[in-house]
């Protein structure tokens, strides 16, 4: 065996060429990743916190901690994707009649990683994290149905995100866009490792999301507290349920699409190739059979957040609760009937296009119902302009605009004109930023005190809010104009002088968005430093209406010492009304909670290793990775002590401490919610 053979056996296609020294920008990015990872590791070592992290977080099966970890992951990935977005906007600002600073190939990698990260590693983990944290509390459960699987899902998602990060250091990423269309991602066009990174990162995350969907749906069906009928659930739980059902049905098409693409690339098959019977339209259909439901997976949970935030900060029952539920279900069903609108221009007959165009427009109806319901909830409410509410108002103004441009695009005749232009980019960012991202940020501000026991700083919250909104408007409104002026999407340079003013404004907007992100970091810093002033251990800082506010902040491991008895919608509000809130139960019982398990990190690391090995064709490592995943699963099935018991006495102590805190905190009126007077105990006010 020659040296080269041995190298190949051990390291596959890896070689010094994989390092990004061909470009200063790529090398810098790699440097940031390596230094960031090393820096974080050193810091943890220096603080001696590895054991703490492992015990209290990585191996924890507590849905609350898993939820928080998901959100942290998503914020890290958000930072990277926003920086990439800014680079693209800068490029388009300077690349008039010149090459700019990014070569086309690099620009293509940027829009691919930006899109892939934003969807799979920012949006999905963020909403999964929020649902994980909030939903079991809202339905009065002690955990999700399958806590260990929950941790495995997190492990798989993190593994995918890890591959995305590694791809910055070793090798070049795919240039095929977030949708990974062949032939761009086929061997013939791109024999490099880029598409393989995309395939395995996305596959890992889609497996994680399938399991998550199953877990959430079963939890909602089987773990509701006594009296919590489906139609008494907070709307956030309804949207979580519908999004989970969508995940169960819509993730498999993605898994199939990426798996078949992998068969083409690794085994020389011909699913989507240009020769020997391959048919890339099958990929387009499979991908969008996932892709369109996916955008509703992304938007339904934020709709749930809006429902909670608007009702809570208007101090009213949600207007039109049932219509909101039915609208949510209608959207979920319709979302499977519209996928062809992503490729109206790809040659099917006009009749087919018309059918899918009409189906697409139909979705506007339930969505419109929702907008009116939210506005009518505000009507004559006791509205407070807290940060989440500000986001909600921005959403109510900006989101319908994106919806309207969506209705335009649903018309195939119009779509033919603006397909593949920046008009589309403006449209979907107009849905995803005011709809999804603002929703997630509103949820983050709203539930942060529940998770950590202190409120986020209002002033910095408002600064960040203002920057997000201004940045969004400036960065994306010009793109509508550019699209109508026929500027194609995914362009790294242009020669049309008329575009320039718009791309300059858009670049400025992107910088404001970067500033907004920085403000969010400052906010965390400031809030942590001032946490004594905003401490809300008593648990109900916003005069809440749903069950998550009926616990201390942060909630104890077991959530509820005694499962709450639910008498109607807005369960906690009702309890406060008829004096059942904070009542000491007659007796406490031992409570079983899931014991920690290393399954999540083990499967995650094995999955990342397998993915990495497949990307670089390192056979032995891929086999070890896959066998470790399977072996861990089998080994786990022989473990019988999967729960630990919290003794009744312990529960009594924990509960007493909380009740004392509630009794000791003065009731705070809604007017004083954002002042240091707010200790997490809401005063009873009329309505």
Partner 1 sequence: MNAQGRNYPGINLDHEPQTHAEAEEKVFGFWVFLMSDLVLFALLFATYATMTGATAGGPSGGDVFELKSTMIETGLLLASSFTFGMASLEIKYGGKGRLFAWLAVTLLFGALFLGFEWRDFATMIAQGAPPSRSGFLSAFFVLVGTHGLHVTAGCVWIVVMMAQIAVFGTARDVKIRMLRLGLFWHFLDIVWIAIFSVVYLPGLVR
- Binding flag, residue 518, ligand HEM (CB under 6 A): no
* Binding piece for Cu ion, criterion CB under 5 A, among 284-292, 438-446, 632-640, 667-675: 284-292
Cα–Cα distance for residue pair 577/462, rounded to 1 Å: 32
Instruction: Give residue number: closest CB to Cu ion.
Output: 292
From candidates 268, 368, 501, 619, binder to partner 1 by CB under 8 A: 268
**Nearest-approach distance from CB 291 to Cu ion, in angstroms:** 6
Residues with Cβ within 8 Å of residue 397, at least 6 apart in sequence: none
With H, G, I as helix, E, B as strand and everything else as coil, classify residue 644. strand
221 binds, among ligand HEM, partner 1, Cu ion, none (CB under 5 to 8 A by kind): partner 1
Distance (Å, rounded) from C-alpha 140 to C-alpha 131?
A: 14
Gap between the Cα atoms of 183 and 271, Å rounded: 11
Does residue 292 belong to the site contacting Cu ion (CB under 5 A)?
A: yes
CB 362 to Cu ion: min, Å: 13
Nearest residue relative to ligand HEM (C-beta): 115
Q: Which stretch binds partner 1 (CB under 8 A): 157-165, 213-221, 390-398, 400-408?
A: 213-221
C-alpha triplet 328, 155, 129: angle, nearest 5°:
35
278 forms part of the interface with partner 1 (CB under 8 A): yes
Q: Considering only residues 486-505, where is the footprint of Cu ion by CB under 5 A?
A: none
Residue 292 binds which entry of partner 1, ligand HEM, Cu ion, none, CB below 5-8 Å type-dependent: Cu ion
Neighbours of 187 (CB within 10 A): 16
Pick what 154 binds: ligand HEM, partner 1, Cu ion, none; C-beta below 5 to 8 Å, kind-dependent. none
In angstroms, the CA 60 to CA 598 distance is 8
Between residue 131 and residue 170, which ones bind partner 1 under the rule CB under 8 A? 145-146
Q: How far is CA 363 from CA 335, 338, 366, 663, 666, in A?
A: 8, 9, 6, 49, 47
Please tell me whether residue 637 binds partner 1 under the rule CB under 8 A: yes
Contact residue for ligand HEM among 14, 29, 69, 82 (CB under 6 A): 82
The binder of ligand HEM chosen from 65, 89, 224, 450 (CB under 6 A)? 89
Least Cβ distance, residue 483 to ligand HEM (angstroms) = 10
Q: Are 647 and 593 in contact (CB under 8 A)?
A: no
Cα separation, 242 vs 394, whole angstroms: 25
Q: Which of 101, 159, 33 is nearest to 601 (CA)?
A: 159
Name which of ligand HEM, partner 1, Cu ion, none residue 436 binds, using a CB cut-off of 5 to 8 Å depending on partner kind.
ligand HEM
Q: How far is the CB of 478 from ligand HEM (least distance, A)?
A: 11
**Nearest CB to partner 1, comparing residues 287 and 447:** 287
Other beta carbons within 10 angstroms of residue 639's beta carbon come to: 11
Cα dihedral 84, 85, 90, 95 in deg (nearest 10): 90
Other C-beta atoms within 10 Å of 1: how many? Answer: 7
**Buried residues in 483-506 as b, exposed as e (16+ CB within 10 A):** beeebebbbbbbeeeebbebbbbb
Residue 235 binding result from Cu ion, ligand HEM, partner 1, none, given CB thresholds of 5 to 8 Å by partner type: none
| Cα first-last separation, the chain | 81
A 10 A CB-CB count for 685 gives 12
Chosen from Cu ion, partner 1, ligand HEM, none, partner binding at 437 (C-beta under 5 to 8 Å by type)? ligand HEM
Residues that bind partner 1 (CB under 8 A): 145-146, 210, 213-215, 217-218, 221-223, 248-249, 251-253, 255-256, 259-260, 263-264, 267-271, 273, 275-279, 282, 286, 289, 630, 634, 637-638, 640
Residues that bind ligand HEM (CB under 6 A): 82, 85, 88-89, 111-112, 114-115, 118-119, 122-123, 177-179, 425, 429, 432-433, 436-437, 475, 489-491, 510, 513
């Amino acid at each position: 065996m020659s040296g080269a053979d041995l190298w190949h056996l051990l390291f596959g296609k890896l070689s010094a060429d994989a390092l990004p020294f061909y470009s200063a920008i790529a090398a810098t990015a790699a440097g940031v990743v390596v230094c960031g990872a090393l820096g974080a590791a050193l810091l943890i070592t220096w603080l001696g916190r590895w054991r703490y992290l492992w015990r209290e977080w990585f191996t924890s099966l507590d849905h609350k901690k898993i939820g928080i970890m998901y959100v942290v992951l998503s914020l890290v990935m958000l930072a990277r994707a926003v920086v990439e977005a800014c680079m693209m906007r800068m490029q388009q600002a300077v690349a008039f009649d010149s090459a700019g600073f990014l070569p086309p190939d690099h620009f293509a990698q940027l829009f691919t990683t930006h899109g892939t990260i934003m969807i799979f590693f920012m949006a999905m983990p963020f909403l999964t994290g929020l649902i994980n944290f909030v939903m079991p509390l809202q339905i009065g459960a002690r955990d999700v149905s399958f806590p260990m699987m929950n941790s495995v899902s997190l492990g798989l998602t993190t593994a995918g995100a890890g591959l995305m990060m590694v791809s910055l250091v070793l090798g070049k990423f795919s240039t095929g866009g977030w949708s990974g269309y062949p032939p761009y991602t086929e061997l013939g066009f791109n024999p490099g490792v880029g598409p393989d990174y995309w395939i395995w990162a996305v596959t890992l995350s889609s497996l994680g999301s399938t399991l998550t969907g199953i877990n959430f749906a079963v939890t909602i069906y089987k773990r509701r507290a006594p009296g919590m009928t489906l139609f008494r659930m907070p709307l956030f739980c309804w949207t979580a349920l519908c999004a989970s059902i969508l995940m169960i049905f819509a993730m498999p098409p993605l898994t199939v699409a990426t798996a078949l693409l992998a068969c083409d690339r690794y085994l020389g098959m011909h699913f989507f190739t240009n020769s020997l019977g391959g048919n890339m339209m099958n990929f387009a259909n499979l991908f969008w059979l996932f892709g369109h439901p996916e955008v509703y997976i992304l938007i339904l949970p934020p709709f749930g957040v809006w429902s909670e935030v608007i009702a809570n900060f208007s101090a009213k029952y949600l207007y039109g609760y049932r219509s909101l539920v039915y609208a949510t279900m209608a959207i979920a069903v319709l979302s499977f009937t519209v996928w062809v609108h992503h490729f109206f221009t790809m040659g099917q007959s006009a009749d087919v296009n018309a059918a899918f165009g009409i189906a697409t427009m139909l979705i506007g109806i339930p969505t419109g119902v929702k907008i009116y319901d939210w506005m009518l909830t505000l009507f004559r409410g006791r509205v407070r302009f807290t940060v989440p509410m500000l986001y909600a108002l921005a959403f109510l103004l900006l989101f319908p605009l994106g919806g309207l441009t969506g209705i335009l695009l649903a018309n195939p005749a119009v779509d033919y004109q603006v397909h593949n232009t920046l008009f589309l980019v403006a449209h979907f960012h107009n849905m995803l930023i005011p709809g999804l991202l603002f929703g997630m940020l509103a949820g983050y501000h709203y539930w942060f005190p529940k998770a950590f026991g202190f409120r986020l700083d209002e002033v910095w919250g408002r600064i960040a809010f203002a920057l997000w909104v201004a940045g969004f408007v400036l960065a994306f409104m010009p793109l509508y104009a550019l699209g109508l002026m026929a500027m194609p999407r995914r362009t790294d340079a242009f020669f049309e002088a008329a575009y320039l003013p718009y791309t300059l404004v858009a670049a400025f907007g992107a910088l404001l968005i970067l500033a907004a992100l920085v403000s969010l970091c400052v906010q965390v810093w400031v809030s942590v430093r001032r946490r004594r002033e905003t401490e809300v251990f008593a648990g109900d800082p916003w005069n809440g209406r749903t069950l998550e506010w009926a616990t201390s902040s942060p909630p104890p491991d077991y959530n509820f010492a005694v499962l709450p008895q639910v008498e109607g919608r807005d369960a906690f509000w009702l309890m406060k009304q008829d004096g059942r809130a904070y009542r000491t139960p007659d007796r406490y019982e031992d409570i079983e909670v899931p014991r920690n398990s290393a399954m999540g990190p083990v499967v995650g690391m094995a999955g990342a290793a397998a993915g990495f090995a497949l990307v670089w064709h390192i056979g032995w490592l891929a086999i070890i990775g896959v066998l470790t995943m399977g072996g861990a699963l089998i080994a786990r099935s022989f473990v019988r002590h999967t729960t630990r018991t919290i003794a009744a006495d312990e529960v009594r102590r924990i509960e007493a401490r909380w009740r004392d805190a509630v009794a000791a905190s003065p009731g705070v009126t809604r007017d004083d919610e954002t002042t240091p007077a707010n200790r997490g105990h809401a005063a009873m006010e009329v309505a």
